[in-house]
Amino acid sequence: MKSILTKIKESFITSAPKPHKNACYFCKRKAADLRNYRNERNKKITVCYLCVEYAERRAYHK
C-alpha cells in the first residue's frame, strides 16, 4: 500500500505539458507556417517567422 504522503505528492506533481505540434519552439505561439531547424543536439525544432532571426543568430541549421 502506498502511504498517504506518497498519494498526496503524486496528486500535486504536474507533468510538463507536451509542446503543441504547430507551436514555435521559442515563443510557443501556434502558427500555420513554421520553418524547420536542427538544434545543437540535432533534434528537429519548428520556428515561427518572428523567431527565425533568433534561431539563425543561435546558429541553428536549416
pLDDT tens for the chain, residues 1 to 62: 678 888 777 777 765 566 677 899 999 999 889 999 998 888 999 999 999 999 999 888 88
The pTM score is: 0.62
Question: 15: which 3 cell numbers?
Answer: 507533468
For position 44, what pLDDT does the model report? 92
SS3 label, residue 15: coil
Beta strands in 1-62 (DSSP E): 35-38, 44-47
For position 1, what pLDDT does the model report? 62
- How many Cα atoms sit within 13 Å of 52 on the Cβ side? 9
For position 51, what pLDDT does the model report? 93
Give the integer Cα–Cα distance in Å for 44 and 34. Answer: 12
Amino acid letter, 57: R
